[in-house]
Structure 1
Amino acid sequence: RKTKEMLTATRLLPCSALLSSATTTTTTTSTTSKTCNPNGRILTPILIKPKKTRIFAVYSNENSDTWEEPDGGSNSDYEEDDEWDSEQESSFDVISGSNSTSSLTNVRHEDEHFIKEVEHLLTPDERAILQQNETPDLSKISTRKWGVLQTLALSQQIPFMDKLLVQGVDIDAPDQDGLTALHKAVIGKREAVISHLLRKGANPHVRDKDGATPLHYAVQVGAMQTVKLLIKYKVDVNTEDNEGWTPLHVAIQSRSRDIAKILLVNGADKTRRTKDGTSVLDLSLCYGKDFKSYELTKLVKLVPAGIDP
């Protein structure tokens, strides 16, 4: 089944011979097409293909609007092609040790070439800055507003986050609003980053400047799985922010019945009031008759804390 170059032979036939014949012969190994040249002769290219190729075709049924696949039959070319493909694929699965070493060497050479190419584009001062900063200069790459760890968390750059942590960056470092990388990941619903930060030791009880915890934000954005994960990390479901709002208050405000139920089942206190005296039931009723008010009111009224109805 070795691939051979396609051979093309041309023979000349009179036009009358073509006109008297309405059939075109096609075999499994060759395809013939006929065209007239200006001299009245017929050029008949004969394309000889030594290897069978897959041809996907559909036939139109004149009596219906559907397409039907052709009957492959027992002498289908697909079986032989599949066998050949599997043989070819298996031959690529085995890579010798010498080839692997050679590939790694080539990659290193390409990397070195790329580095030299980029450094050639830099001015002497720019190259000096690059050489001086063997580790990131946090004073240059972050501000109080744009914390570098917070940005990497939202952009899901986990490997770069780990490099900064290894170099001593505080995993719970807040920005000017008191938001840590965990806060930002929760707000952005970056579940993989949230799990990674918690495994790395991020504080699940941390508060921003308004006293809001990651659980408050998880409830606000409707991140059900994150709420469950934070509860597994033993966060306080009755924690209050600076205005006395608990995660359950936020759940009722966001009209999220399922999350409110999870909080209640895990011990949320529905009798808690905010600093201005607003209860969870008040939040449910003050929306009026719409906005799931009846559903949430029934939930708050009937579900005892810590008991799954």
Structure 2
Amino acid sequence: MDSQSGGEAPALDGFPLKHSNTLTNRQRGNEVSALPATLDRNSFPMFLSLPALSIHQLAAQGELVQLKEHLKKGENLVNKPDERGFTPLIWAAAFGEIETVRHLLEWGADPHALAKERESALALASMGGYTDIVTLLLDRDVDINTYDWNGGTPLLYAVRGNHVKCVEALLAGGADLTEEADSGYTPMDLAVALGHKKVQQVIESHILKLFRNKRRKK
């Protein structure tokens, strides 16, 4: 869990929106979460020299040259899911590999794909705070309010991670502030409970803007 969330209220101890231990949070200035051993670069420095990496590992590592060659070996590999249902695009988005995400989209990767528990590239990029990837995916008209197995939406994950810029991008893209996780928390509820002041200010400013626009239309 991010160090920024360390002061959250005890009532949130059981809150289901937790960072998956299969993904990294290696974004600017944030703590690195636990990774599966096969993808942990720090613990396994020889990992990158191993032969025959899968397309999913190559996407997660941002190995574009090898990935491109691998994808030439068969049809539909660009959208091939792994055992969790994660496509190469989902892995690249989760690891913050912006250039890999951009190239995969150009090569025909489906930005709307959902994994077995409804994880999406947008939600995992939002969880990691990768605003550039979030913006890229929103430009592809992905479902901004898509929810996963526990009701988590991209906005809820961005709020939980205290990713202010990501929250701004999602709100500007039309993310629904009334969506609740299965625990009953809305994005504002979660921001208040976790003490994320800047995120609260962003949400409050957005609500005020919506209110003003509504009044102008009357």
- Length-normalised TM-score, structure 1: 0.48
Partner of 1:150: 56
Q: Which amino acid aligns with 1:159?
A: V
Partner of 2:29: none
Structure-1 separation of matches of 2:199 and 2:66: 43
Partner of 1:177: 84
Q: Which amino acid aligns with 1:296?
A: V
1:272-295: per-residue Cα shift (whole Å, max 9, x none)? 11123221111011124xxx33x3
Q: Which amino acid aligns with 2:163?
A: S
Q: CA deviation at 1:167?
A: 2.4
3-state SS of paired residue (2:134): helix
Structure-2 separation of matches of 1:227 and 1:306: 22
Partner of 2:179: 272
Preserved contact between residue 204 and residue 214 of structure 1 (Cα < 8 Å): yes
- Picking from 107, 119, 127, the partner of 1:220 is 127
Preserved contact between residue 152 and residue 158 of structure 1 (Cα < 8 Å): yes
Q: CA deviation at 1:166?
A: 2.5
Q: Which amino acid aligns with 2:133?
A: T
Note the 1:187-202 alignment, pairs <5 A. Answer: 187-202=94-109
How many corresponding residue pairs? 160
Q: CA deviation at 1:248?
A: 0.6
* Runs of at least 5 residues in structure 1 that lack an aligned partner in the other structure: 1-140
Identity %: 28
Partner of 2:137: 230
1:83-117: per-residue Cα shift (whole Å, max 9, x none)? xxxxxxxxxxxxxxxxxxxxxxxxxxxxxxxxxxx
Partner of 2:206: 303
* Runs of at least 5 residues in structure 2 that lack an aligned partner in the other structure: 1-50, 214-218
Q: Which amino acid aligns with 2:204?
A: K
Partner of 1:254: 161
Structure-2 separation of matches of 1:160 and 1:297: 43
1:98-149: per-residue Cα shift (whole Å, max 9, x none)? xxxxxxxxxxxxxxxxxxxxxxxxxxxxxxxxxxxxxxxxxxx87xxxx710
Partner of 2:189: 282
CA distance change for structure 1 residues 160 and 296 in 2, over 3 Å: closer, same or farther?
closer
Note the 1:84-123 alignment, pairs <5 A. Answer: none
Preserved contact between residue 265 and residue 305 of structure 1 (Cα < 8 Å): no
- Picking from 84, 106, 110, the partner of 1:203 is 110
Q: CA deviation at 1:247?
A: 0.6
Preserved contact between residue 265 and residue 304 of structure 1 (Cα < 8 Å): no
Say what the alpha-carbon RMSD is for the aligned residues. Answer: 2.3
Q: Which amino acid aligns with 1:150?
A: H
Q: CA deviation at 1:207?
A: 1.5
CA distance change for structure 1 residues 247 and 305 in 2, over 3 Å: closer, same or farther?
farther
Preserved contact between residue 248 and residue 268 of structure 1 (Cα < 8 Å): yes
CA distance change for structure 1 residues 305 and 153 in 2, over 3 Å: closer, same or farther?
farther
Q: CA deviation at 1:306?
A: 8.9
3-state SS of paired residue (1:271): coil
Partner of 2:6: none
CA distance change for structure 1 residues 157 and 278 in 2, over 3 Å: closer, same or farther?
same
3-state SS of paired residue (1:159): helix
- Length-normalised TM-score, structure 2: 0.66
Q: Which has the higher strand share?
A: 1
Higher RCO structure, 1 or 2 (CA under 8 Å, sep 6+): 2
Structure-2 separation of matches of 1:305 and 1:219: 23
Specify the structure having the higher radius of gyration (Cα).
Answer: 1
Structure-2 separation of matches of 1:301 and 1:218: 23
